[in-house]
A and B are shown apart, each in its own frame.
Chain A
Amino acid sequence: MVAKKGGNRGVGGEDAEEELKRDRLQAILLADSFATKFRPITLERPKVLLPLVNVPMIDYTLAWLESAGVEEVFVFCCAHSKQVIDYLKNSKWFGQPNFSVSTIESHNSMSAGDALRLIYERHVISGDFILVTGDTVSNMPLTLALKEHKERRRKDNNAVMTIVITQSKPCSITNQSRLGMEELFMAIDPDTKQLLYYEDKADDLKGTISLDKGLLMDKTSISLHNDKQDCYIDICSPEVLSLFTDNFDYQHLRRHFVKGLLVDDIMGYKIFTHEIHSSYAARIDNYRGYDTISKDIIQRWTYPLVPDVQFFGNCATKLERRGMYRASEVGLSRSAQIGPFTVIGNGTSIGSNTEISDSVVGEGCIIGSNVSIDGCYIWNNVTIEDGCKLKHAIVCDGVIMKSGAGLEPGVVLSFKVVVGQQFTVPAYSKVSLLQQPVKQDSDEELEYADNSRGVIGIPSISNTPEKLNEQFSTKLSDSQRQTVSEVGNGGVGFIWSHGEGGHEEEWRHSVAPIPADRLVEIIKTATDELEISNRDGNVLPPSGELEPDSVDNDSDEDVRDDYAYFEKEVEATFLRAVHENVTEDHVILEVNSLRLSYNLTSTDCASALFYSMMKLALDTPHDTPGELVKNFATAITKWQKLLKYYLTSIDEEIEVILKFEEMCLESTKEYSPLFVQVLHLLYDKDVIQEEAILNWAAEKEEADESDKLFLKQAEKFIQWLNEASEEED
């Protein structure tokens, strides 16, 4: 075990040392990933209890936290919380002398954000804490990272979080990391290690990363990284919890919290990174990560968390040559060939002429003869009859494969599935006894929480197998009739159809290695795309000035869209003011806050308000154009103070006239014959000054003939204005 007292020793500065001694180092372990990547398995068992090289994932995390000097762990359970709590109660984790584990149960948390808000309400966290999920495998010492975090905290109270990263270059073809996660783009200050930019859900359409110009304001260099991996191990200050409470819309740790902190610099909170070089840290996010991390454990990168070292929950296993681990009681036929990097669990028997390589076989499995298993994860009590062929598959507890059955790469067989004789399950299929939930909610977190609540009713397999069997046997008769074809003759289970991602994307997150032809395909499409973008690149603006890139045009559109939304909201605000007799001051306040949130100018407010008034007049019942003008006159008389507030200069008044013109042409054509009357009205009411009208006329003088429609209408009025001003002179 890693030096237990490491956390208390070797800390520079007496303050820090005292602080470390005073506070118990706490950790929050989220025993729910709030995701659906491990379905259908996670419908029956929580992800943290899934065996990883024959040990439940949560044991790896807890063992690491204990060895890293954490003294108090709060395990947050939501989905299948009872199973998690029961497991922990029966494990050795409760009742350790220097390591207390307590659980926090919730039935309605739908995201990490909800979980942290709940924990905040419980007031159990007193100082800096470690935030991890229950699917983390690591052997990193926390001493250095904690020391850095605390030192930064002392200097700058806003340094609330340190995230642990490690070197990992994503594959250049698929743009995903070896753990099957999306590629990550980060910008880090090379001196302070402050995180400045974080983009994990890469938007492929955008070919560029856009860094805010403000980032380079007070520093001269930034490092951009595409070769780092987020370990999802965070050292947090207590403020993190209150931040989640303050921002009740934060759900996802990275997508909302980290981005929120980076983008809104209003709060001034900072996030830092800590890079680990020699130790191991990774999180199991999907099946590919499961495969990769299992191999890492077998190859001992995670030492001391390896099969032949007893930490918790695993039984004695002996390491033999060529990286083969064998438990003490394995019934192995003489003619069976066990290849390298394979783990065979306790009480498993293997028949003659069976070949197993690069695989993990759990406890109590019965494997027949002439079976070939390559790159598979076979959990406990699985029966594989003679002549089966398995390649790169996950086979859960209690599965029965009848003789001659086969699994193609990427197959996942959930609990107790039976594969019929001679049946071959097609590649990337997921088979479960439970039917696929029909309702596909777009929000995956919501969906998961819903389902997990629904699933609570299903008895857990390990606890009451008899009852379960009864239930299934009743079900079986039904399902057998319907699904006899799905997993072969005598098989039990439903093959899930692929989700929205479709079959195309299944290979990305599967345990099976990515097939070579798929890679070639991706390279080809990537090249095609390159060529297309190349052609786009050829079209250069005639100015000769290189546009930063084509995305610029999109941002213009965004601005227009923004304005449209803004206009709608202003209109709604205004109408509410009209109907509920809100005072002008309050409307101004509301419009101002809208303006700030949409980042627009006061000119935009003026034209939006003007538009709302016109609309109001138009929507008030009227028969003749004359009445319309009258309606408008009442509206403008009542609300002119409001409009005046935003018309502080001549330019803004001109803008309103232009807006009016545009409206007459597009949205509210009813006004077009009334242009001059309305203009005159605005002049009379002192909303628009003479100077603005004359300037507008002068501006329009140079426009195209088609644009002069309203100018001609207003010709007389302008002439009159001109004469009036001359008389004054």
Chain B
Amino acid sequence: MDFQVVVLAGGFSKSLVPLVSKEVPKALLPVANRPVLSYVLDLLELKNLKDLIVVVEGETAALSVSAWISSTYIDRLHVEVAAVPEDVGTAGALRAIDHRLTAKDVLVVSGDLVCDVPPGAVAAAHRRHDAVVTALLCSAPVSGPSDSGSSGAKDKAKKPGRYNIMALDPTKQFLLHIAAGAEVEKDIRVQKSILRAVSQMEIRADLMDAHMYAFKRSVLQDVLNQKETFQSLRRDVLPYLVKSQLRSELLSSGVQSDENSNSKDAMQNSKILPSQLLANAFTPSFHELYALGPDGSASITRKTHKCCVYIANKSKYCARVNSIQAFSDINRDVVGDANHLSGYSFSAQNNVIHPSAVLGSKTTVGPQCMLGGGSQMGDKCSVKKSVIGRHCRIGSNVKVVSSVIMDHVTIGDGCSIQGSVICSNVQLQERVVLKDCQVGAGFVVTAGSEYKAESLAKKEKL
């Protein structure tokens, strides 16, 4: 389908310290005991998109990612791993691999995306409108710890997080305004010219940019080359394209040379594009009307381009591992409500216990839990809504609730862990009590200590 796929796997993400380290880049963080990158790669593989470029920030991170990919996806995917310098941003990463982009359209997916929205739907929306960019939007996830049997009162207190403020046209196909990052907290500024052209727009705060974009390749390259200061796709490139959609600066070099791409030509020659037929789009979009000029005579040509959106159905799961909170939430969801994503088959008790795992007597593993291969648990333990990695050694009388425990973790007797993330090779001595903590890889928590809402990690030698 002439789509090139670029997966931006990032590198060492500061917002995920102490979960990530030099050895474990963000792409390899385990979500339900699989690296997060595997969710994207599986999704793409499922849709038969097998030629991928995975862009990783930093040489060492690239090496470990490439090692993992080649061991896991050998014979399944054709993946090129490209290393780019750190902190170049998403736009910088694409600029760095510019020469490898050749297809007509490019699908850019963030490597930390865990979702079940078919990328084909985004691509189709993109092609249907002959857009320069199409972004996947999903409902903003409800973040916050979800305790077992959350009551109605608690749900009320929870509000969907605010990630983006967007304006859509009434048909919900075109993106008219987007605010991301710090701008979300500011006053909303909407361009009058766009509002005049569409007459009516809807401003939404409950949608999130899911970081899956389809770009017209020529446009993407144009923008990246012309605007050298652009660093981020989300903060710079997308808002720029959205803002300039009715006074496009792109057509000079990029779009016009593409055949069939200039909708105005098509309108004037009164031939109907196959894509328009598909979309049942005999009524021209506001872009086309605007381009025709107010009197319909096209006495003055106006250049426009389209920014489209594909809004994922509410029932679809879509989330990004971009914060520690999100990491916990996604782990919870993948073994819980969205367990079709995990790729495991769940037992009758709605949990996954690897056959090689050993459980002591009177130890219970509740529903929505996962226990990795080779792990051992002592007696009278209780695990609820948690993920436990491989080869962990857990003593007796240990309570694990709503937590993520990675591989090779040793937990002493009588520990209580709640709402925490414990990285690999951590040692918890006896009677440690952790609540809402993060413990970095290799850390040792001494016996009897209690922590609440803290981040524990070895001091990194820089």
Q: List A residues at the B interface (Cβ < 8 Å).
A: 169-173, 175, 183, 185, 187, 190, 202, 206-213, 215-216, 219-227, 519-520, 523-524, 527, 530, 533-534, 537-538, 540-546, 548-549, 551
Contacts and interface: CB of A to CB of B under 8 A. Distances in A.
A223 B195 CA distance: 11
B189 A226 contact: no
B188 A213 contact: yes
Nearest to B140: A220
Across the A-B interface, the 9 shortest Cβ-Cβ residue pairs: A227-B199, A220-B206, A544-B229, A211-B188, A208-B189, A222-B203, A172-B294, A173-B294, A544-B231
Contacts of B202: 190, 221-224
Residue from B187, B205, B235 with most neighbouring chain A CB atoms (10 Å): B187
Contacts of B243: 537, 546
A224 B203 contact: yes
Contacts of B235: 545-546
Contacts of B195: 185, 209, 224, 226
A185 B195 CA distance: 9
A210 B189 contact: yes
Contacts of A530: 193, 247, 302
A483 B179 CA distance: 62
Given A209-B192, A210-B189, A519 B199 contact: no
A207 B203 contact: no
A16 to B, nearest CB: 30
Given A212-B187, A221-B204, 9 more contacts: A208-B189, A221-B205, A222-B202, A527-B300, A530-B247, A534-B249, A544-B230, A546-B236, A548-B179
A548 B236 CA distance: 11
A223 B203 contact: yes
Nearest to B188: A211
Nearest to A214: B187
A551 B189 contact: yes
A46 to B, nearest CB: 36
Interface in B243-267: 243-244, 247, 249
B187 A213 contact: yes
A556 to B, nearest CB: 14
Nearest to A216: B205
B247 A216 contact: no
B189 A172 contact: no
Contact of A520 (B187, B232, B299): B299
Interface residues of B, number: 47
A172 to B, nearest CB: 4
A531 to B, nearest CB: 8
A207 B167 CA distance: 16
B190 A211 contact: yes
B361 interface: no
B183 A548 contact: yes
Nearest to A531: B247
Interface in B120-178: 160, 162, 165, 167
A557 B299 CA distance: 40
B196 interface: yes
B15 interface: no
Interface string B188-218: 1111110111111111111000000000000
A208 B190 contact: yes
A226 B167 CA distance: 14
Contacts of B459: none
Nearest to A522: B294
A542 B300 CA distance: 33
Nearest to B248: A534
B168 to A, nearest CB: 9
Nearest to A528: B300
A486 B185 CA distance: 61
Nearest to A545: B235
B2 interface: no
Nearest to A212: B187
B160 A220 contact: yes
B354 interface: no
A223 B294 contact: no
A224 B167 contact: yes
Contacts, number: 128
Interface of B: 89, 160, 162, 165, 167, 179, 183, 185-193, 195-206, 227, 229-232, 235-236, 239-240, 243-244, 247, 249, 293-295, 299-300, 302
B190 A209 contact: yes
Contact of B294 (A219, A523, A542, A548): A523
Contacts of A187: 203
A17 B198 CA distance: 41
A173 B293 CA distance: 9
B294 A175 contact: no
B200 A224 contact: yes
A208 B191 contact: yes
20 contacts: A172-B196, A173-B294, A207-B193, A215-B188, A220-B204, A221-B206, A223-B200, A223-B202, A224-B201, A226-B200, A227-B200, A519-B294, A520-B299, A527-B302, A533-B247, A537-B244, A538-B249, A544-B229, A549-B189, A549-B191
Contacts of A543: 229
A185 B194 CA distance: 12
A708 B283 CA distance: 67
Contacts of A524: 300
A225 B200 contact: yes
A169 B249 contact: no
Contact of A226 (B165, B199, B249): B199
A210 B196 contact: no
A65 B50 CA distance: 70
B204 A523 contact: no
B192 A185 contact: yes
A513 to B, nearest CB: 13
B133 to A, nearest CB: 15
A535 B358 CA distance: 69
A169 B289 CA distance: 14
Contacts of A520: 299
B203 A544 contact: no
A216 B202 CA distance: 12
Contacts of A213: 185-188
Most interface-central of A215, A225, A548 (chain B CB within 10 A): A548
A124 to B, nearest CB: 40
Nearest to B185: A213
Contact of A216 (B165, B191, B227, B239): B165
A201 to B, nearest CB: 13
Contacts of A227: 199-200
Nearest to A213: B187
Given A224-B167, A548-B186, A551-B189, A175 B196 contact: yes
Contacts of A541: 229
Contacts of A209: 189-192, 195
Contact of B295 (A216, A220, A519): A519
Given A208-B191, A548-B189, A225 B295 contact: no
A63 to B, nearest CB: 33
Contacts of A527: 300, 302
B163 to A, nearest CB: 12
Contacts of A190: 202
Contacts of A542: 229
A363 B91 CA distance: 74
Contacts of A549: 189, 191
A573 B165 CA distance: 44
A170 B196 CA distance: 8
A223 B247 contact: no
Most chain A CB atoms below 10 A, which of B186, B197, B200: B200
A206 B191 CA distance: 9
B188 A210 contact: yes
Nearest to A542: B229
B394 to A, nearest CB: 43
A187 B201 CA distance: 9
Contacts of A534: 244, 247, 249
A546 B183 CA distance: 10
Contacts of B244: 534, 537
A275 to B, nearest CB: 12
Contacts of A202: 192
